[in-house]
Amino acid sequence: MEKSFSETVRYRPEYPLAWVELNRPQALNALNKEVFVTLGRIMDEIAADDQVKAVILTGSGEKAFAAGADVEEMKSLSALEAGQFALVAHEAQEKLSNLPKATIAALNGFTLGGGCELALCCDIRIASEKARLGQPEINLGIIPGGGGTQRLARLVGIAKAKELIFTGRIMAAPEALALGLVNMVVKPEELREAAKKLALEIAGKSAPALALAKRSIAEGAELPLSGALHYEIECFAQCFATEDHREGITAFLEKRAPVYRHG
């Protein structure tokens, strides 16, 4: 059942999943302040809902996941106002990025600028064959302001990120797959089902273990290898304080599927 936050972003729990859909198809799901504020509120709702184990973020319509920030809203911004807008976007993106649950971006079309940055905040990206990705901000005389210069470089490497950001070139889904920017490419009519299948598979795992794995990967990426390995040990040890670890090991020894209580 869909929950109402704003017309700009739809939220529909389908336990153990939740669907979050950018809903401005007439503007190719362009991202404005209302979208980011609503997205942040939805992330708060999901974080507090223990029934949600995985999240699928996508765009409404057939043309775009999100074609970028709303240029109409941005065209008259001062430097101060542009910074304030970027901070609003940053707050929502951090809530999405730090959500202790698996997040999957289902890229159904144009995934450009702020749309690409939003997709980069998700754990996994599945692209339609029709998807087009890139950071074309340079063509407007600006640079990415929602994490593009940072998250993209960490994912595809500094040299390739510089090429994409400096040229503003838009790439097709197969190239994005080859770069590791997306995890898989599927036919347009198979996108939602592929995202749902993967989300359900992940949702069947232990929620505490998944949250610890996500935290270990994220925090470890910011540390030197030695420190990251010690942080991993801390997260590994915390798993042994959960009921799920006992169920997982018992199920393995009894040669049956585990039934996790997510605690």
**3-state SS string for 101-151:** CEEEEEECCEEECHHHHHHHCCCEEEEECCCEEECHHHHHCCCCCCCHHHH
Cis amide leading into 25 (omega within 30): no
Band (199; pLDDT cuts 50, 70, 90): very high
pLDDT tens for 207-241 read 999 999 999 999 999 999 999 999 999 999 999 99
Give per-residue burial for 234-259: e unless 16+ CB within 10 Å, then b: ebeebeeebebbebbeeeeeeeeebe
Structure tokens given for 113:
């600028």
**Assigned token pair, 192:** 């939602």
Of the residues 72, 73, 129, 137, which is catalytic?
137
SS3 69: strand
SS3 for 56? strand
Task: For 104-130, write each residue's pLDDT tens digit.
Answer: 999 999 999 999 999 999 999 999 999
Choosing from 117, 129, 175, 201, the catalytic residue is 117
- For each of the domains in the chain, give its residue range(s) and CATH number, in order of start: 3-203 (3.90.226.10), 207-253 (1.10.12.10)
What is the token pair recorded at 231?
């942080």
In this structure, is the dihedral angle defined by the CA atoms of residues 148, 150, 154 and 157, taken in order, positive or negative?
positive
Quick one: tokens of 14? 């389908």
What whole-number distance in Å separates Cα of residue 3 and Cα of residue 6?
A: 9
Q: Are strands 110-112 and 64-66 parallel, antiparallel or unpaired?
A: parallel
Q: What is the pTM of this model?
A: 0.95
Q: Is 137 a catalytic residue?
A: yes
Please state, in angstroms and rounded to a whole number, the distance separating the CA atoms of residues 55 and 162: 30
Average pLDDT value for residue range 58-85: 93
What average pLDDT score do residues 132-160 get? Answer: 97
Q: Is 91 marked active-site? A: no
Q: Which residue has the tokens 């209580």?
A: 261
